[in-house]
Amino acid sequence: MVNFPGISGLFFDEDLLIRQGSKGVYGISIPDCGLKDSEIEKTPKDYINKKFIRKKPPRLPEVSEPTVVRHFVRLSSWNMCVDSVFYPLGSCTMKYNPKINELIASLDNIKNLHPLTPIHLVQPVLKIIHDFNLILCELTGLDEFSFSPQAGAAGEFTGLKVIKKYYDLKGEKRDTILIPDSAHGTNPASSALAGFTPVEIKTGANGHIEAKDVERYLSENVAAIMLTNPNTLGIFEKDIKKISEIIHKNGSLVYMDGANFNAFLGNVKVSDMGIDIIQLNLHKTFSTPHGGGGPGSGAVGVRGFLKDYLPVPYVSFNDGNYNLSEDKRQTIGRIAPFLCNFGVLLKAYVYILSLGNDNISAVSEIAILNANYIKKRLGKVLNGADPFEDKLCMHECVFTDKALEDNGISTLELAKLLIDYGFHPPTVYFPKNIHGAIMIEPTETESIKTMDRFLKAIEKIGFKTKKPAALKSPRKTKVKRVNEVLANKHPIFKY
Ligand SMILES: *Cc1c(COP(=O)(O)O)cnc(C)c1O
């Protein structure tokens, strides 16, 4: 398999850390404070309310520093990551993360920053947050961003709460959110959580929402439409301006799930599409590493008339001083314990500044070029499997399992076999409206060589692999095929 990165070799067996410990082993030694026990007047126990003191010591691993380091490094080698493999997981924007971001975010005075540090000592930090807001406003054409939400879905929830507050204060009872079937799965969930009823709109045959279809769903109950643009089929909502006009005429708002901002960053402003409110996933578009649930930042941006509803606290700038303010009278309140996930925000800020005004638009241009390269080439290989063959895509492309099925290989087997070839699988079986969906997002950081190898691997898997071998894949990983349904329904977290 010399043409592919492949997987072979060095996987270590690894026991639970708790089983590797021995009583009395420490990772660090604290110097003797020089006092005898009889000289110590009070121990920590004397300062803590008795009800909070454990009866028994916690069951923690007692291990040395090298044991801990080896444990986690070994475990990390069982998994794939953007630093080791091509990771074309659709709708996740798993781009390479430049190391300069990490370097800056891990400077001592940044990583050790306490959230309760007095304001006059963190002026530069507040300035970064303040300036970052201005940059995002410039990139989107919106008027203010809040950095409280710590994930994309938390951003959606925050945005929907803002919408709720807006109508509550207007005295309008609007409880419906229109959501296309090509939206991300978190959209209906966030709507329900924020107290709305999600109503599904069917995507047209062209892969986008038709303005005339939206009209049929309108009523005085509609609070907003929630569009993912480009949608999860990788297609730009062509009618977006018209849809916004219709929605606004109905007295409703336009929410955009902007997690796929990588597709038009620096080329189109969302304000020109008529968007009132958006969340941007800093941890996708702006290269901050993510996966496995965090850390993230789902920055929420709004037009001026919604500013007052955004969460508190926020950074203000008066008389040459930056401050943390809480004085938004109509705020939805706090979304997070402190201001924001600053490390994530800083990495995004460094990423934008290191590209600069001249290069930022190249991100989306190359992301689209790469996705279309895969779409065209793979469309030929998987003949008849591209439901939007005659169209260009944006940041990602989607195929059905049609061509593979004829050869007895399912989408699932393709995904598992790709791991043996040394590629992270694409997103599979999503969106649900595409049969056996294979959804590929290469991002702008991949070379044509890497993409060619990936395409070749799919060709080999799809047309030269025998079904019995495919069913047993992945065979070269540390953990082989798992029963995913069982693992989801009856997860075992404890040994
Ligand atoms: C990833 C994604 C989300 C959810 O973001 P999280 O940070 O995982 O909560 C929402 N919408 C779209 C379109 C996405 O791609």
pLDDT of amino acid 409: 92
Question: Which is the closest atom of ligand 1 to the Cα of 284?
Answer: 1
- Name the token pair of 181: 């079937």
pLDDT of amino acid 293: 63
Domain 103-354 fold is: Aspartate Aminotransferase; domain 2 (3.40.640)
Confidence category of residue 407, pLDDT binned at 50, 70, 90: confident
Question: Which is the closest atom of ligand 1 to the Cα of 93?
Answer: 15
Q: Tell me the CATH number for domain 367-489.
A: 3.90.1150.10
* Domain extent listing, the chain: 1-71, 103-354, 367-489
Structure pTM? 0.90
Distance 206 CA to ligand 1 centre (A): 23
Mutate to test the pocket of ligand 1, among 89, 91, 181 (most ligand atoms within 8 A of CB): 91
Q: Is 184 in the pocket of ligand 1 (CB under 6 A)?
A: yes
Give the whole-angstrom CA distance, residue 326 versus residue 307.
Answer: 13
* pLDDT single digits (tens) 114-124: 999 999 999 99
Q: Are 328 and 314 in contact (CB under 8 A)?
A: yes
* pLDDT single digits (tens) 371-387: 999 999 999 999 999 99
Distance 483 CA to ligand 1 centre (A): 25
Average pLDDT, the chain: 93
- Name the token pair of 363: 């991100």
* pLDDT single digits (tens) 167-219: 999 999 999 999 998 888 899 999 999 999 999 999 888 889 999 999 999 99
Give the whole-angstrom CA distance, residue 342 versus residue 352.
Answer: 15
Q: Is 94 in the pocket of ligand 1 (CB under 6 A)?
A: no
Distance 186 CA to ligand 1 centre (A): 7
Distance 358 CA to ligand 1 centre (A): 28
- Letter string b/e over residues 353-370, b meaning 16 or more CB atoms within 10 A of that residue's CB: eebeeeebbebbeebbeb
First to last CA, the chain: 37
